[in-house]
Amino acid sequence: MTSILGISAFYHDSAAALIVDGRIVSAAQEERFTRRKHDPDFPAQAIAYCLREARLEPKDLDYVAFYEKPLLKFDRLLETYFAFAPAGLASFRQAMPVWLRNKLYMRRKLKTELRGAKQAKFIFTEHHESHAASAFFPSPFDEAAILTIDGVGEWSTATLGMGEGNRIQLLREMKFPHSLGLRYSAFTYYCGFKVTSGEYKLMGLAPYGKPQFTDLIRKHLLDLRPDGSFRMDMAYFNYCQGLTMTNERFHRLFGGPPRSPELPIEQRHMDLAASIQVVAEEIIMSMARELHRLTGKKNVVLAGGVALNCVANGRLLREGPFSNLWIQPAAGDAGGALGAALFAWHQLLEKPRQTGQSDSQSGSFLGPQFSDKEIENALTLRDLPSQRFEDEAALLKLVVDAMSDGKVVGWFQGRMEFGPRALGARSILGDARNPAMQSVMNLKIKYRESFRPFAPCILRERAADYFDIQPETESPYMLLVAPLLKEHRLPLSEAQGNTMAHDPDLRQRVNIPRSGVPAITHVDYSARIQTVDEARHGRLYRLLKMFDQHTGCPMLVNTSFNVRGEPIVCTPQDALKCFLATDMDLVVLGDFVVDKKQMAHLPSAAEKAEHLAAFQPD
């Protein structure tokens, strides 16, 4: 038996993954255990969980694979700072102690933290190798082209490669500072959102805008070449030498200083979001064309933070040049832990790889699960009245009725998801047809204001009835955006059209029903879809099936089980805490249901506020 532990740490979203004889046994992000979002520290608890799942101890490990080469990265930092000295000195001084402490001595740190792993050999893979391995090895394809794009690894910011059988090969790379990820982040920063977590918001803002800055971006910021590579004019950016992403020259070009987060979003910001989205898609499409020319493969696999740009993914699938697409659900750096471990097994140990009908990611349900006993204990601890259902059909019927009635339901089932999305194991569900659902879920459950609609989960076999996708397309990881079919769109009245075009409050715009499923329909009629099938999703599939039978609607709103700024819940205790701190009506944990209606004492406003105060808004 060979056990390999993969680790990503010390940058953003630390994680661990364990593979035993090539099978992915467990994977989880550290934030879920420490309850600190995007926790970058050494993933001690995630590692402990991964080993526990396989009933192993550190001494049983044969290999520990770390997702990047610390010295290569240190080298890039030094070179960058020297190239920009003395302008870069301030940020150099600020960044260096952290780097010295965590990165340069990473090998030593890993060994101390894992001192129990006495037999294990330590392996360091390159950052983009880890991403590429995480994209190809778990995919259902024997052969595929590989595209990885993110902010920055050691030196590479994007790589084109291919995988065949049990081997991957990187063919081309783009190097720092020319980076699609960092440029997208620069616009994220400029539009007043948080870098590395606000990119989603920028993508969600794009449908409100017109892409009228694309020419300006192409002319000044970017030299895009026919082979998909590009150079950026670094005179407009500040991320090499400073502590911000953009500089004065950038601000002059786009007509003002960066938006500070508390100021309103103006049309200019929406147009910028639309413009950078168009340019990002252009770059991704031209990289894909070049990759297709280089490899001649009909399949493509994606990873790296930019692979979470679901709008670009949807376009790539619709417009080619590839016929099939698979995306690593933990596309960001957390997935690097899985990639590093798989790289060690297939590429370094030369172990064969088998592909089948499905991928080997198991729906990305790779985290901890909890027994009935553990759930019962958590309920007793909080003294909550609950009902236990032996009969699944009766449980599902109760949930279907509650949701049709406008209730919001916490849904806690089986193993926790690996990756940033809730996929039906730690989710909050509601009726997508309900016109109030978008604002209820945002204000009363998430405690945030949002101009973005929610994402739907939909029966796989019914997805093409609603969205412009091929009947065989699946999106089990919620990584594709697709347009709602014309026959489901509602015409707007003149007044609604006016609101849609001009209302400065974007929530007024998003709340105008544009379809029979308004909670999940964006202002441009797009939706980020998760297809649900019985093999991967079990009980969630059966819930959707029953909801469809009763209402004729095969989809539900599926959002993550948390409040704003909180990592997705992991344990039954986390779930109950979050349930009590919000206006969620019901929570279903395994076979147990807690209904707020049956509770004698509801939590006070002060108790709710206390939970919220533990987390920083994104």
Least distance (Å) between residue 134 CB and Fe ion = 10
Report the nearest approach of Fe ion to the CB of residue 153 (Å): 5
Binding-residue total with Fe ion (CB under 5 A): 2
Minimum CB–partner distance for residue 618 and Fe ion (Å): 19
The per-residue DSSP string of 117-131 comes to --SPEEEE--HHHHH
* Residue nearest Fe ion by beta-carbon distance: 150
- β 143-149/299-303 pair status: parallel
Cα 163 → chain centroid: 24
In the complex with Fe ion, the residue whose CB is nearer, 148 or 166, is 148
CA dist 35 and 21 (Å) reads 31
Tell me the C-alpha distance between 257 and 246, whole Å.
10
| Residue placing its CB nearer to Fe ion in the complex, 326 or 525 | 326
Angle at 19 between CA 14 and CA 25, to 5 degrees: 90
**From the CB of 66, what's the least distance to Fe ion, in Å?**
13
Binding mask 453-492 for Fe ion (x = CB under 5 A): ----------------------------------------
CB of 446 to Fe ion, least distance (A): 27
To Fe ion, the closest distance from the beta carbon of 215 in angstroms equals: 30
- For Fe ion, which is the closer residue by CB, 53 or 150? 150
Q: At what angle do helices 572-581 and 372-381 cross, to 10 degrees?
A: 40
- Smallest separation, CB 486 to Fe ion (Å): 38
- What token pair was written down for 385? 């009245």
In the complex, least distance from residue 240 CB atom to Fe ion, rounded to whole angstroms? 18
| 13 binding Fe ion? (CB under 5 A) | no
Coil, helix or strand at residue 158: strand
Using CA atoms, how far apart are residues 97 and 61, in angstroms rounded to an integer? 32
Binding mask 125-154 for Fe ion (x = CB under 5 A): -------------------------x----
| Range 553-612, binding Fe ion (CB under 5 A) | none
Closest contact distance (angstroms) between CB of 127 and Fe ion is 6
Query: Considering beta carbons, is residue 10 or 254 the nearer one to Fe ion?
Result: 10
Q: Please tell me the distance from the alpha carbon of residue 192 to that of residue 261, in angstroms, as a whole number.
A: 5
Residue 508, φ and ψ in degrees, nearest 5: -65, -40
**433 conformational bin, left if phi > 0, alpha if psi -120 to 50, beta if neither:** alpha
Smaller CB separation from Fe ion, 334 or 512: 334
Of the pair 150, 574, the CB lying nearest Fe ion is at: 150
Mark 311-350 with x for binding to Fe ion (rule: CB under 5 A) and - for no binding.
----------------------x-----------------
Residues 328, 332, 336, 342, Cα dihedral to 10°: 0
Beta carbon of residue 305, minimum distance to Fe ion (angstroms, whole number): 6
Give me 283's structure tokens. 């770059």
Both tokens of 164, joined, read: 């065949």
Question: Site residues for Fe ion, window 150-209 (CB under 5 A)?
Answer: 150
- Distance, in Å, from the CA atom of 403 to the CA atom of 412, rounded to the nearest integer, reads 16
Residue 487, class by beta-carbon neighbours within 10 Å (0-12 exposed, 13-18 middle, 19+ buried)? exposed
| 333 vs 359, beta carbon nearer Fe ion | 333
Cβ proximity to Fe ion: between 307 and 478 the closer is: 307
φ, ψ of residue 467 in degrees (nearest 5): -120, 155
State the first-to-last Cα distance of the chain, in angstroms, to the nearest integer.
43
- Provide φ and ψ at 477, rounded to 5°: -110, 15
Q: For Fe ion, give the closer residue by CB, 290 or 333.
A: 333
Sequence letter at residue 199: E
Whole-angstrom Cα distance, residue 535 to residue 553? 21
H or E stretch at 325: strand 324-327
Work out how close the CB of 130 gets to Fe ion at its nearest, in angstroms, rounded to a whole number: 8
Compare residues 150 and 585 and give the one whose CB is closer to Fe ion.
Answer: 150
Of residues 354-413, which lie at the interface with Fe ion (CB under 5 A)? none
Backbone angles phi, psi at 23, to 5 degrees: -90, 135
Cα dihedral 88, 94, 100, 103, rounded to 10, equals -80
Q: Cα(250)–Cα(13) distance, rounded to whole angstroms? A: 29
Q: How far is CA 535 from the centre of its chain?
A: 22
Nearer to Fe ion, 29 or 582 (CB): 29
**Residue (150 or 431) nearer to Fe ion, CB:** 150
Shortest Å, Cβ 160 to Fe ion: 16
The footprint of Fe ion (CB under 5 A) covers 150, 333
